[in-house]
Amino acid sequence: MATDPDADVDGWPTGREALTYQEARAVLDAQRDTLADIDDKAVRTVRLTAVLLGVFVAAGRIGGLALFDPHLSALGILLLFGSIVARIATYSESNIYLGPNRRYVEQLTTDSFVGTD
């Protein structure tokens, strides 16, 4: 038995509208989960980099500056700080801006795309 696509579905006026909003929500949830994963990895990387910097500073204080090659040490510290800056930029730029917008969802629910089949 076929279901009527215009039947009342969980409080929605039409089945098409219910499905459209359900799919739009699924897209936004997937994007949110992906961005949360990126943010989590960025924060973990910054924490690890901060720990490494602390270990290197402590080793330099305990063993003296002769323990490290000055050129390699400077390069390593610059790369670690670059890593921190890159991860902070990644963390601050991960905003949800993709996905279906209100106009597109409304067009889907009314099937009113102008100039398309």
Task: Determine the pLDDT at residue 98.
Answer: 61
pTM (2 d.p.): 0.58
Q: Which residue has the tokens 């076929």?
A: 2
State pLDDT tens for residues 6-65.
Answer: 555 567 677 777 777 788 888 888 888 888 888 888 888 888 888 988 888 888 888 877
Closest by CA position to 109, among listed 12, 2, 17: 17
Say if residue 77's pLDDT is above 80: yes
Q: Give the CB-side neighbour count of residue 11, counting CA atoms within 13 A.
A: 2
pLDDT band at 1 (very low <50, low <70, confident <90, very high): very low
Residue 2: pLDDT band (50, 70, 90) is very low
Question: How many Cβ atoms are within 10 Å of 87's Cβ, its own excluded?
Answer: 20
| pLDDT, tens digit, 9 for 90 and up, residues 79-97 | 888 888 888 887 777 666 6
Rounded CA-CA distance 40/31 in Å is 14
Within a 13 Å sphere around the CA of 112, how many CA atoms are in the beta-carbon half?
Answer: 8
* pLDDT, position 8: 53
